[in-house]
């Protein structure tokens, strides 16, 4: 785990031997399950360390300081094989984590892995953000809402903002040219109770391929009708038509 270790050190994180073992177990289980269900195209040890594990940790500098509570609650929307939620839980064991994933098989992998890693305070939900966001115990409850590689920003705003507590923060990981997406999403974000998005480039030498964080603070409640029914946020995003 040398690449992860030195990258994490740059983020101010000294991973201890238990954490490094957990990352090793994560790697082994990922590769094992990947032979049966499609979890990732990235399988080389160095690549997994950098493009999955370290990339997940790269959101930490964007956490709001101080976070609302001592043990911040965090939800990862469309977690897939656990990114970014699970590497964050390994690195910061005090967080309370919910992993939300629509595909049952991936959710089964996440449950298996959570047990294997002996992690407390991790809940895996198999379901769609459009449904779960209307459940009382998850709506506007989280200090931090994360999502990586799930949808374009206007749709993703609708899938993430409803989960965030007022005063909390949404951090979305994006690659490549995102200016257009961000300006398209600006009005949607406002409607859903978010601040104007701030875009930060990930400044890690190990990840020098145009990775960005879109940071949104939750400033007012999300109207109860959002998110709309499953599929609608992506199919018919609430875009600003300049009206
Ligand atoms: N975040 C992971 C996975 C990205 S792939 C990573 O970066 O590696 C996108 C994942 O989001 C898929 O596993 C898909 O099943 C899930 N997903 C897509 N739309 C969703 C929704 N509306 N609710 C919950 N999960 C969703």
d(CA 30, CA 113) in angstroms, rounded, equals 9
206 CB less than 6 Å from ligand 1?
no
Domain coordinates of the chain in residue numbers? 2-235
- CA of 105: how far to CAs of 38, 112, 124, in Å? 9, 11, 12
Ligand 1: centre distance to CA 106 (Å) = 9
Q: Looking at residue 64, what is its pLDDT?
A: 81
Q: Which CATH superfamily is domain 2-235 in?
A: Vaccinia Virus protein VP39 (3.40.50.150)
- DSSP type of residue 54: I
Distance between CA atoms of residues 40 and 38, nearest Å:
6
150 Cα–ligand 1 center, Å: 5
Number of residues in the chain: 243
Q: What percent of the chain has pLDDT over 70?
A: 96
Output the pLDDT for position 208: 84
Nearest CA to ligand 1 atom 10: 78
What is the pLDDT, as a whole number, of residue 243?
43
Q: Please, what is the end-to-end C-alpha distance for the chain in angstroms?
A: 52
Q: Helix/strand/coil (H, E, C) string of 176-189?
A: CCCHHHHHHHHHHH
pLDDT in tens, 12-62: 999 999 999 999 999 999 999 999 999 999 999 999 999 999 999 999 999
pTM: 0.96
89 close to ligand 1 (CB < 6 Angstrom): no
């Amino acid at each position: 785990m040398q690449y992860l270790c030195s990258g994490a050190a740059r983020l101010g994180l000294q991973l201890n031997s238990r954490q490094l073992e957990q990352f090793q177990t994560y790697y082994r289980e990922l590769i094992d399950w990947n032979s049966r269900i499609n979890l990732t195209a990235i399988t080389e040890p160095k690549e997994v360390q950098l493009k999955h594990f370290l990339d997940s940790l790269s959101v930490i500098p964007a956490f709001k300081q101080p976070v609302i509570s001592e043990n911040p609650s965090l939800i990862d929307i469309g977690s897939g094989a656990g990114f970014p939620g699970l590497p964050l839980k390994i690195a910061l064991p005090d967080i309370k984590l919910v992993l939300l994933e629509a595909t049952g098989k991936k959710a089964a992998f996440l449950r298996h892995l959570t047990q294997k890693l002996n992690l407390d305070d991790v809940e895996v939900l198999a379901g769609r953000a459009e449904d779960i966001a209307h459940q009382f115990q998850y709506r506007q409850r989280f200090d931090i809402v994360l999502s990586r590689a799930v949808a374009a920003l206007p749709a993703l705003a609708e899938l993430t903002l409803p989960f965030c507590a007022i005063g909390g923060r949404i951090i979305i990981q994006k690659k490549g040219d995102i200016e257009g997406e961000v300006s398209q999403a600006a009005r949607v974000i406002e409607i859903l109770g978010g601040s104007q998005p701030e875009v930060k480039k990930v400044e890690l030498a190990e990840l020098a391929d145009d990775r960005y964080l879109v940071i949104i603070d939750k400033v007012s409640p999300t109207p109860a009708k959002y998110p709309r029914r499953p599929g609608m946020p992506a199919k018919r995003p609430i875009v600003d038509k300049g009206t």
